[in-house]
Amino acid sequence: MHRGVHEFIRWIDEHPDFPGLKLNDPASNADINHLEHQIGTPLPSDLRLVLFRFNGGAIPSGVLLSAGGPGGHTIESALRKLAQRLERDFLDPDLLLPFHRNTDGAMLAFDRSAGPVADTWPIVDYYEDTGELRLVHRTFDGWCRLCTAEWSSNDFLAEFSLDKYLRQGERHVAIETDVASAHATVAHAFRRAGKPEHALESYLRAARCIPPLAWCDWEALKLAALLGMPEHAYEAASRLATRGPAKRWSERETTPGRIADVVGTLAKSARDRSPWVRLLDQMAPQAGEAADRAQVLAVRKAVCMEEMLPQKRPSRQISVAPDPEDLERWWNTLREGYKNGTIRDEDLLLDSNLEVLRHHRAFADLLRIRRDF
């Protein structure tokens, strides 16, 4: 038995009256054998150990699915519903294997497509309403360890807050240092806490993991550009410029043209522009739209020929903070918009109408505004 599974079982045994805890009696050999026969594959050994102690039921983080018996929260029923939703064969060996439902509605499942041996399957969370899927635990043992760490923390029953969210992410990172979603949680918390340098480091760590969260490089590039940290920006931009299929670009949540607009400004201030130009050369052929490709080429030409950069292509048609002809009022409008979330980092970088204000105010100061949930 792995350490985390042992801690999980022991914690439950020692806290029978903890809020939200109501587990079923142990599963029998017949229950487990029937389930494995029905789904056509063995269960991971650590999950079997847990089910032999508690055959599903309520735990403080959600509902542990059962191997069978009374009640509708079974692994088999969840798998059948998932197969129906995804229009796939129930016995497809690569179909996710659900075992838990979080309190936020996400389903935790083993990713059976990740390997032929059950004990090597990582854990993903899956949101049925959006189809979003991401790796959240490298092992079932890691999930067990995080559960007990969360339930044992002083703030588990406290009201949700930004500080609590940060501590949750930090606990996850301490347990599974190679899981991108853990670093992304910490990055998002630091960003809202007004600590952009810490957020930048965490976004980069998330992007270095295997598998990475590809959109974290775009977030890191924007932060690095606003903070004036070209080395960090180049690391993120290098991964963003790597050739990839349309699906990969969708995961990056940006386009070659928008990256080029950020890269162009950084390249203009660099002593050696050639590394940045090589990134632009990598991105131009990958632009899916003609206008996007033209933007990359225009930025490249401006960088190489000492010309003015082309006008940036913002993601919004209307400026997020039109010039009120009063710098102080303009700055206050920008501050308020950033604080309440109507203005984003992307706007600060790509909204050309803000260029005048950029010469009078340090936009990096906006990143240090704390924005509680």
Burial of 104 (0-12, 13-18, 19+ CB in 10 A): exposed
pLDDT top residue among 326 and 36? 36
pLDDT-derived band at 1 (thresholds 50, 70, 90) equals: low
Whether 208 has a pLDDT exceeding 80, the answer reads yes
Q: How many angstroms separate the CA atoms of 260 and 281, rounded? A: 10
Question: What is the pLDDT averaged over residues 10-31?
Answer: 95
Q: What band does 71 get if pLDDT is binned at 50, 70 and 90?
A: low
Please tell me the predicted confidence (pLDDT) of residue 317. Answer: 81
- Give bridge partners of residue 101 from the DSSP assignment: 63, 107
Do 155-212 and 3-152 have the same topology in CATH?
no
pLDDT class of 316 with cuts at 50, 70, 90: confident
Sign of the CA dihedral with 333 first, then 337, 343, and 344 last: positive
Mean pLDDT of 38-62: 95
Question: What pLDDT does residue 36 have?
Answer: 96
**pLDDT class of 11 with cuts at 50, 70, 90:** very high
What is the pLDDT, as a whole number, of residue 2?
87
Predicted confidence at residue 292, as pLDDT, reads 96
CATH fold for the domain made of 155-212: 1.25.40
- Domain ranges within the chain, ordered by starting residue: 3-152, 155-212, 214-313, 327-368
Which of the four pLDDT bands, split at 50, 70 and 90, describes residue 314? confident
> What architecture (CATH level 2) is domain 3-152?
3-Layer(aba) Sandwich (3.40)
